[in-house]
Amino acid sequence: MAKISKANITISDIAESAGVSKATVSRVLNSPELVDEKTREKIEKVIKENHYSPSATARNLSKQISSTIGVIVPEISNTFFGELFEGIEEITNKNNLSLLYCSNDDNKEKDFKALDMMRTQRVRGLIYIPAVNYKELGLLKQVQQRLDGLAGPVICVDRSIGLRCDEIYFNDRKAMYEAVKALAVDGHKRIAIINGSKQNVLAEERHNGYIDGLKESGIEVDESIIFRGDYKYSSAYSMTKQMIKLENQPTAVITCNNSISKGFLKAIYETGKSIPDAYMHIGLDKIEMLNLLGIPYNHIERDSYELGKRAVEILINRIAFPETKLQQVVLQAELELQTCRLVKM
C-alpha cells in the first residue's frame, strides 16, 4: 500500500491502493460500523497516509438526512398494524414528516434487507418492530450495528429484545396472566392456548403469562393443549383442527393475536354442532368485523392507534434531544369480557 502520488486523491485511488472496491471505501467513510475491523483499519491507514479528505460537498450529499420516518412492521395487512399506521400518521402529518413503510413478514432476511433500505434512504428516524427474537438467535449485535448505522434514531415498538434504543410496548405477559385467571375464576381447569413460535419474543412473553396464570390458579400445565405455530391464519386453522380431535377437550381457549383468532374461529364454525362441548374463548386484540356485526367477543384490548401516536412522539423527542436518557414505556392492555360465550359447538 504505497503512498499515492497525486495532488487530487479520489475514492477510486484509495480503493485501488487498499485493494478494495469504491463501495467499501465509501462505507468506511459513511457507515464504518458495517465494515469488518481488519478491512476498515486497512482503508483508514491508506486514508491517513495520503491525507485524504472528501470534499465538503460530497460529504454533505452523502450525509443528507431526509424528512422521512421509516416504519418496519411484521404484517402490513394485519388490522393491528393498520391502526398503528393511523396513529403514526396523525402525528407525522402534524409535523410535516413523510412515511416510508416496509414489512419484514416475521422473517430475519427480509428484516435485514428492510433495515439496509432504511439506511440507504437516510430516514430521519425509524419505528421498528423486529421480525424475530434476535437475542435468542445470537444475532442481536448484528441488528444493533445496522441500527447504529442509520442516519437517525430508532424506537423499538410492540416488543423488547434488548436493543440499545427507546422502546414502547404492551405488557402482554400480564394481560395473558389476567386472561387465564379470569377463566379459572369462571370454573375452567383445562385452558388451551394457540400461540406463535418460540423464535418470536412476544410469543414467549404470552406463553410465560399463560403459565403464570395457571400456576397462580393451581392448574397443572398440560402440554397437550399448548399449541405453537406461527402468527398466521392458516397455521391457527390447522392447530385448531388438531385440538378439536383431542379426546380430553379443553373447555376454554386463548388465542394470541387476531390472525390466530380468525383461523381458530373458522375451524370451529366449520364443525357445526358435531362436538357438544363449548369453548370459552379469549382472543388477543379485537376483530373489527365482529364489532361491526354486533357479535360479543372476549378479547384483550391493545390500543395500537395510541401505540403509534406515542411511538412517533417519543421518536420526535429523541430527534430533538438526542442526548436524553433512553426511555422504556410499558402500556397496559385491558381485558374486555362479554356476558355470553362467543363459540358454541
> Which residues lie across from 192 on neighbouring strands?
253
Label residue 179 by pLDDT band (50, 70, 90): very high
The cell numbers describing 240, all together, are 385448531
**Distance set, CA 222 to CA 180, 188, 219, 227, 251 (Å):** 14, 13, 9, 11, 13
Query: Between these two residues, 160 and 36, which has the higher pLDDT value?
Result: 160
| CA distance linking residue 36 with residue 40, whole number of Å | 6
pLDDT of 13 > 70? The answer is yes
Question: Is-contact 24 32, C-beta < 8 A?
Answer: no
> Is the pTM here over 0.85, yes or no?
no
- The average pLDDT across 319-329 equals 91
pLDDT of the residue at 65: 62
| CA distance linking residue 121 with residue 114, whole number of Å | 11
Label residue 75 by pLDDT band (50, 70, 90): confident
The cell numbers describing 32, all together, are 464504518
> Burial level of 120, CB count in 10 A (0-12/13-18/19+)?
exposed
What distance, in Å, lies between the first and last C-alpha atoms of the chain?
A: 77
- Locus of grid cell 392448574: 219
pLDDT of 341 > 50? The answer is no
The cell numbers describing 66, all together, are 431526509
What DSSP string describes 64-109? ---SEEEEEES-TTSHHHHHHHHHHHHHHHHTT-EEEEEE-TT-HH
pLDDT of the residue at 77: 83
| CA distance linking residue 311 with residue 44, whole number of Å | 38
DSSP letter at 223?
A: G
> Where would I find the H helices in the chain?
11-18, 22-30, 37-49, 56-62, 79-94, 108-120, 134-137, 140-148, 172-185, 201-216, 233-244, 258-270, 288-293, 304-320
> How crowded is residue 225: how many other Cβ atoms within 10 Å of its Cβ?
18
pLDDT of 163 > 70? The answer is yes
Residue 78: phi and psi, rounded to 5, are -70, 130
DSSP letter at 44?
A: H
pLDDT of 142 > 90? The answer is yes
**Per-residue pLDDT tens digits for 265-292:** 999 988 874 333 568 999 999 888 887 7
pLDDT of the residue at 187: 93
Residues in the chain: 345
Which domains occur in the chain, in start order?
Answer: 11-62 (1.10.260.40), 68-170+303-332 (3.40.50.2300), 172-302 (3.40.50.2300)
Question: Is-contact 195 204, C-beta < 8 A?
Answer: no
| CA distance linking residue 300 with residue 298, whole number of Å | 7
Question: Is-contact 308 88, C-beta < 8 A?
Answer: yes
